[in-house]
């Protein structure tokens, strides 16, 4: 893996960090939704096996 260093202004840095934070918020939200779906599916499997 190669790390590339790029000169940027404080404003450019803040802009990139803000963009990454927004992307992470979206991904974490999707992760939360998927977690609920997985838990629900597991409960359905357990219920089906018992019934």
pLDDT (tens digit, 9 = 90+) per residue, 12-50? 999 999 999 999 999 999 999 999 999 999 999 988 887
Farthest-apart Cα atoms in the chain, separation: 63
pLDDT score, position 47: 81
pLDDT band at 51 (very low <50, low <70, confident <90, very high): low
Give the residue ranges of DSSP H helices in the chain.
10-50
Residues in the chain: 51
Cα torsion through 41, 47, 50, 51, rounded to 10: -120
């Amino acid at each position: 893996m190669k790390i590339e260093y790029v000169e940027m202004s404080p404003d450019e840095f803040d802009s990139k960090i803000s963009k990454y934070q927004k992307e992470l918020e979206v991904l974490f939200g999707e992760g939360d939704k998927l977690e609920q779906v997985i838990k629900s599916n597991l409960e359905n499997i357990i219920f089906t096996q018992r019934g």
